[in-house]
Structure formats: structure tokens, C-alpha cells
A and B are shown apart, each in its own frame.
Chain A
Amino acid sequence: QQQVKQSPQSLIVQKGGISIINCAYENTAFDYFPWYQQFPGKGPALLIAIRPDVSEKKEGRFTISFNKSAKQFSLHIMDSQPGDSATYFCAASEDNAGNMLTFGGGTRLMVKP
């Protein structure tokens, strides 16, 4: 019940295209859903996050869509750039300080020039 399932495992997108990564969860107690971006040799860095009181959140080229009834959320990267090439992890937790993050399996994104 604690799992977060993420797909696809890898994704290749042309520069300027839209990258879409999907996640699904089971635990209805989760109420905080961050996305982390990780470059090789670096730690995960918070990219964008959403709470279930909204269905969409946009920050620049990054948008999270959230479907509470389906227990799914997704990351859209508009106008994808080669610099976006990284591994993306969705995560979920209860939105109280101190709660563990449960991570998805990760998606390795490559944006071709």
C-alpha cells in the first residue's frame, strides 16, 4: 500500500517536445506529491509539488496534473530541452513534517537536440 508506481522507466523526447511521466499510488493518506529531478552524481532536487486540493499546478515549463479519484498524478515538461535530461522521481507522503517520502522507481529522460 506504500508503493508509488512510476512509468515509463525511460523516455526519449526531441527538443521542443512534451515529456510526460506518470505515477500512481494506493495509500489514500498521502496528501503531498513532489517531483524530484536528479542529475548523475547529484542528490534529488525538488522540482515541483502538489497537494490534492488542486488538480493542476504549473511552474514555468513544468506542470503537475493530479487526479485524486484515480490516485494518479503526472509531470508534463513542455518545450523539453537537452538540459532537462535527467532522472525524474515522483514521490508521495503525508504532508506533515517528519514523514518519510515514498519514491517511484524513476524515469530516465533524454531530450535529443
Chain B
Amino acid sequence: EPEVTQTPSHQVTQMGQEVILRCVPISNHLYFYWYRQILGQKVEFLVSFYNNEISEKSEIFDDQFSVERPDGSNFTLKIRSTKLEDSAMYFCASNRPQGNIQYFGAGTRLSVL
């Protein structure tokens, strides 16, 4: 069964450093998302992406964040200057053109020290 894959599974970085989280969505999906989950809390929407542009973003997704689909298969989330409070699990999701069934990857655990 096709799945969303995310790399790395765990990223450790120093505060102020840039990180890039990578995702490979399911191949025939056209809508892509990033969500985050702070330890023990609910899953929060960050951004959605369609047709090479952001379609919606939350207030969490400030100027420190950016997304890109550089090569038609990868979908990346960049955090320009990480803060301690960026420590969380980051989930990528994708869905088909019809309906809104979103499939999630296993996540990247980001630890900012």
C-alpha cells in the first residue's frame, strides 16, 4: 500500500540553526500538508500546498517557516532559525484530488537544544 514517507525520523539541532524536513507524498496525490504535534498535545495544522503554492496556512506558520516542492516528488518544510518551542513531531500528509482523506507519514521528531 502506498504511503507517505518522511526523513529523517529524528533531527537534533541547535537553537538558531536552519532545518529542512523532507517528505515524499503518495505519488498520485496533489494536495500536501504539514502538521505538528508538541509532545502530549493535539495535532495542529501548519500549512497546505497545491499546484506549487501555499493554499492555506495557520498563525503558527510565520516567516520562519517555508515549504517547497523542489523536484515533483519531495515536499519540504524549512525552519529558518529554530527556537526551543519548535521542538515537536512534524507530520507530512497528502490527499487525492477528490475528497479530503489525508494520509499521514510517520513524522519527524525535531529536537531543538
Contacts and interface: CB of A to CB of B under 8 A. Distances in A.
Nearest to A51: B99
B106 to A, nearest CB: 5
A71 B48 CA distance: 26
A97 B103 contact: no
B91 A101 contact: no
A102 interface: yes
B31 A97 contact: yes
Contacts of B97: 97
B102 to A, nearest CB: 6
Contacts of A78: none
B45 interface: yes
B56 A100 contact: yes
Contact of A46 (B35, B41, B42, B103): B103
Interface residues of A, number: 26
Contacts of B56: 98-100
Contacts of A46: 101-103
A99 B91 contact: no
Contacts of A106: 41-43
A102 B45 contact: yes
Interface of A: 32, 34, 36, 41-46, 49, 89, 91, 93-106
25 contacts: A32-B99, A36-B104, A43-B105, A44-B43, A46-B103, A49-B101, A89-B42, A91-B43, A93-B100, A95-B99, A96-B99, A97-B95, A97-B96, A97-B97, A97-B99, A98-B48, A98-B50, A98-B56, A98-B95, A100-B33, A100-B56, A101-B35, A103-B43, A104-B42, A105-B42
